């Protein structure tokens, strides 16, 4: 997202003033969409200037950008001059099935574009809805992970409801024909109006009633997907002549992508979106009406979106710039979107697996913000409508801008990364507002998980109510993407269910570790951070897997550590006690404990000084007096995989 500094600090430096002055002069330059430039500049310069209260940190003011934008929305939708509004919501269901449920052969090329397609679809549908309601785009309050909430005017409400439902039904009919019902758009309106006083001051019953009536209505719509939408003759219109090798849809025509590769029109369109996003960082889509057909064109590919019954018109082109950083990036665009794109990464799961250090395999990582509902409730304490818009924008910013910087190794804040920043070989399969699914070289995926948790803690100023959970699983390169999503999803659930005193914590669950890892134990707390143990061990590893023979950390040493770990924990779980200074008594015959291994290993001694590093000595000192054994299964297994031969 185009912001100039981290949300916690805002300094009006001479450079910032100069940059703003220079950019304002660009207003009026031919070739730019002026409204878009104004919106971009407002977001770039006013996102971090605050007024009142910022919810993610509880300490900082509400950004002026969110205040201005929301006020613009309130003015645009107040057509009765009574300061009353309805709320509308759009929920895209079937996202996972659409994005991941595809054959893994050549999947990655299509995967890149699939979540982009869904985002574009949602944006086009939202534009249609807001146009029918006569509202500006500022009315859009929330857009996170396929959920959109927006302001609607209060006049002629029954007529408006009918018109909006007509738009949604038309799109659902198109999606039914296009996707055999995999994607469904659920639309709901609040049962009663909300007043501007409730939106801007303390929320009352009207606000909470509106939010809960929307939740009930959406749930009902999702249970009745496509009810009444089939028309006579539909069954005849699905002739199962050919099957798309990527999405397995039955179609009557396949499109040739290159020599020997033919896919359905939707898969070709998604592949083209993926290609444009990586090569140009921008998308160009023509929205066209051809006779009775409404279609989208990207490059040389055409996607037909159902047969029209007349009256529908949406001519023109959608020129979307992805992740603009400067005004110049907006030349020729009429829309911009913050969406994580991994450029310059191998397009084949096999090649990606080979880029891992040590064991050659894939890592699948899923991450999700915990109890978003509580965060939203927290946001309702004051100026709920602005807070909600601000929270949504901040989450989107984290899951696009920060992630891309972590992937590219260019994150400038929080320079003390767990391991050295570098380009990390993974793809964003899905990243939508408050959750994430990435697949890549397993060692890079694990590193990014650790850094993601650390960045999140900084981003939220360690607000105990804003926590993130992550699940990591490892797979061979031929593993189906859908199964990766399910297995890493199970780990995500394990991380989420691992609460401390009923509260969620920032945590990462990996399939190979005994229990989820909490960020507190990695980075702070009463114990010396585990990072102090991991850093010296990590530095003993061969770099980039190029030099395995010269690795100073041997597998046999790690094996002995793993044995000590495996021998210690069942003893503790069966009522045995870990006694400081008496650990030899607990080690089964022939096996020794951590302390002995760490203290005596020649491998951990610096070749220059002949003694263990300061980090390691600090850790050993803590271990010697500790009243509980460390759980090193996460780090030992991590290191063990890193030193494996290809």
Binding site for Zn ion (CB under 5 A): 244, 246-247, 264, 267
For the purposes of burial, counting CB atoms within 10 Å of the CB of 480, is it exposed (0-12), middle (13-18) or buried (19 or more)? middle
Residue whose C-alpha is closest to residue 314's, from 172, 131, 137, 168 = 131
Smallest separation (angstroms) from Zn ion to the CB of 260: 16
Strands 84-93 and 147-152: antiparallel
Specify whether the CB–CB gap between 194 and 84 falls below 8 A.
Answer: yes
Q: How many of the other CB atoms lie within 10 Å of CB of 595?
A: 18
Start-to-end C-alpha separation, the chain: 39
How many CA atoms, within 13 angstroms, populate the side-chain half-sphere of residue 493?
6
Specify whether the CB–CB gap between 157 and 84 falls below 8 A.
Answer: no
What is the chain's alpha carbon radius of gyration, rounded to the nearest angstrom? 27
* 106 vs 427 by CB, closer to Zn ion: 106
* 49 vs 241 by CB, closer to Zn ion: 241
Smallest separation (angstroms) from Zn ion to the CB of 486: 21
* 168 vs 251 by CB, closer to Zn ion: 251
Smallest separation (angstroms) from Zn ion to the CB of 243: 9
Structure tokens at 484: 């990766």
* 246 vs 561 by CB, closer to Zn ion: 246
Smallest separation (angstroms) from Zn ion to the CB of 393: 34
Residue 447 backbone phi and psi in degrees, to 5: -60, -40
Specify whether the CB–CB gap between 394 and 7 falls below 8 A.
Answer: yes
* 246 vs 391 by CB, closer to Zn ion: 246
Smallest separation (angstroms) from Zn ion to the CB of 394: 36
* 108 vs 154 by CB, closer to Zn ion: 108
Smallest separation (angstroms) from Zn ion to the CB of 117: 11
* 249 vs 397 by CB, closer to Zn ion: 249
Smallest separation (angstroms) from Zn ion to the CB of 221: 27
Structure tokens at 540: 């003993």
Q: How many of the other CB atoms lie within 10 Å of CB of 615?
A: 18
* 90 vs 267 by CB, closer to Zn ion: 267
Smallest separation (angstroms) from Zn ion to the CB of 430: 18
Give the C-alpha separation, 143 to 126, whole Å: 10
* 102 vs 487 by CB, closer to Zn ion: 102
Smallest separation (angstroms) from Zn ion to the CB of 62: 44
Give the C-alpha separation, 358 to 423, whole Å: 17
DSSP 8-state class, residue 8: T
For the purposes of burial, counting CB atoms within 10 Å of the CB of 115, is it exposed (0-12), middle (13-18) or buried (19 or more)? buried
């Amino acid at each position: 997202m185009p912001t100039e500094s981290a949300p916690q600090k805002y300094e009006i430096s001479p450079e910032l003033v100069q940059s703003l002055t220079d950019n304002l002069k660009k207003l009026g330059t031919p070739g730019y969409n002026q409204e878009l430039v104004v919106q971009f500049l407002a977001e770039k310069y006013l996102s971090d200037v605050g007024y009142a209260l910022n919810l993610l940190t509880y300490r900082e003011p509400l950004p002026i950008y969110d205040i201005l934008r929301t006020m613009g929305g309130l003015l645009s939708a107040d057509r009765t001059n009574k300061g009353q509004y309805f709320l509308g919501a759009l929920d895209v269901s079937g996202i996972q099935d659409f994005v991941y449920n595809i054959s893994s052969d050549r999947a990655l090329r299509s995967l890149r574009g699939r979540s982009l397609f869904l985002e574009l679809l949602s944006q086009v549908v939202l534009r249609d809805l807001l146009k029918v309601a006569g509202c500006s785009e500022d009315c859009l309050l929330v857009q996170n992970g396929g959920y959109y909430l927006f302001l609607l005017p209060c006049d002629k409400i029954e007529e408006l409801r009918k018109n909006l439902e007509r738009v949604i039904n038309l799109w659902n009919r198109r999606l039914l024909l296009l996707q055999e019902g995999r994607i469904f758009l659920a639309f709901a309106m609040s049962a009663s109006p909300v007043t501007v006083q409730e939106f801007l001051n303390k929320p009352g019953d009207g606000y909470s009633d509106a939010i809960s009536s929307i939740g009930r209505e959406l749930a009902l719509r999702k249970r009745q997907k496509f009810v009444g939408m089939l028309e006579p003759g539909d069954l005849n219109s699905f002739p199962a002549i050919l099957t798309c090798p990527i999405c397995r849809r039955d179609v009557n025509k396949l499109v040739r992508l290159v020599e020997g590769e033919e896919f359905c029109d939707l898969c070709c369109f998604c592949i083209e979106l993926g290609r444009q996003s990586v090569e140009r960082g921008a998308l160009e889509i023509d929205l066209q009406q051809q006779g009775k057909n409404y279609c989208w064109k990207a490059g040389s590919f055409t996607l037909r979106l159902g047969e029209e019954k007349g009256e529908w018109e949406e001519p023109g082109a959608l020129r979307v710039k992805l992740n603009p950083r400067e005004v110049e990036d907006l030349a020729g665009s009429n829309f911009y979107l913050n969406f994580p794109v991994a450029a310059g990464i191998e397009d084949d799961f096999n090649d990606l697996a080979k880029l891992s250090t040590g064991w050659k395999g894939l890592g699948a990582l899923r991450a999700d913000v915990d109890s978003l509902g509580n965060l939203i409730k927290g946001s309702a304490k004051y100026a709920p409508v602005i807070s909600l818009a601000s929270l949504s924008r901040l989450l989107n910013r984290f899951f696009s801008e920060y992630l891309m910087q972590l992937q590219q190794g260019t994150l400038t804040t929080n320079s003390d990364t767990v391991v050295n920043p570098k380009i990390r070989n993974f793809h964003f399969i899905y990243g939508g507002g408050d959750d994430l699914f990435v697949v890549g070289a397993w060692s890079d995926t694990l590193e990014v998980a650790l850094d993601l948790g650390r960045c999140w803690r900084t981003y939220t100023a360690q607000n105990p109510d804003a926590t993130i959970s992550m699940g990591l699983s490892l797979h061979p390169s031929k593993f189906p993407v859908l199964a990766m999503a399910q297995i890493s999803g199970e780990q995500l659930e394990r991380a989420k269910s691992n609460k401390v005193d009923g509260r969620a914590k920032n945590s990462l669950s990996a399939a190979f570790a005994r229990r989820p890892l909490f960020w507190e134990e990695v980075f702070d707390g009463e114990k010396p951070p585990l990072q102090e143990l991991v850093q010296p061990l990590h530095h003993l590893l061969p770099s980039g897997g190029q030099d395995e023979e010269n690795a100073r950390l041997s597998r046999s040493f790690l094996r002995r550590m793993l044995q000590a770990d495996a021998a210690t924990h069942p003893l503790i779980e069966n009522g045995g006690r870990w006694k400081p200074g008496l650990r030899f008594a607990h080690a089964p015959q022939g096996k020794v404990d951590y302390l002995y291994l760490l203290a005596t290993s020649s491998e951990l001694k610096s070749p220059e000084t002949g003694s263990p590093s300061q980090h390691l000595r600090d850790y050993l000192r803590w271990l010697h007096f500790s009243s509980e054994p460390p759980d090193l299964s996460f780090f030992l297994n991590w290191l063990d995989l890193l030193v494996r031969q290809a």
